[in-house]
Amino acid sequence: MGCWSIVRAAIFNADLGKEVALELVIQPAGTIRCLYSEELNLQQLGQLSIQRGSHVEPTANGQWTVDLSPVKGPLLGPFAQRSAALRAEQFWLEEHWLTSPP
């Protein structure tokens, strides 16, 4: 397996007037993996291939779960708030999916 470059950077977005933290994984072939964010125009990096990483859904009793099966991950939760489920989703994807080989 070739070397990977993991870039963690804060990039200033002039349209938003703020810095945006983003983690990019640059693979040996030059492809870039990251978690999708509208805070940075990812099209500037080249042709995009966007795939679903999870499903954040409400339960019958008003809690939230994170189904990471699209990336062969676990079911997380339940969470009392959707925002907590979204944070858990992002954390899991960054720690387990982003830096693992596709």
pLDDT in tens, 18-64: 777 778 888 888 888 888 887 777 888 889 899 999 999 999 999 99
SS3 22: strand
- Indicate whether this model's pTM tops 0.85: no
Please state, in angstroms and rounded to a whole number, the distance separating the CA atoms of residues 69 and 95. 15
Please state, in angstroms and rounded to a whole number, the distance separating the CA atoms of residues 88 and 93. 8
Instruction: Tell how strand 64-67 and strand 55-58 pair up.
Output: antiparallel
Q: Taking the chain, what is the end-to-end CA distance rounded to the nearest angstrom?
A: 12
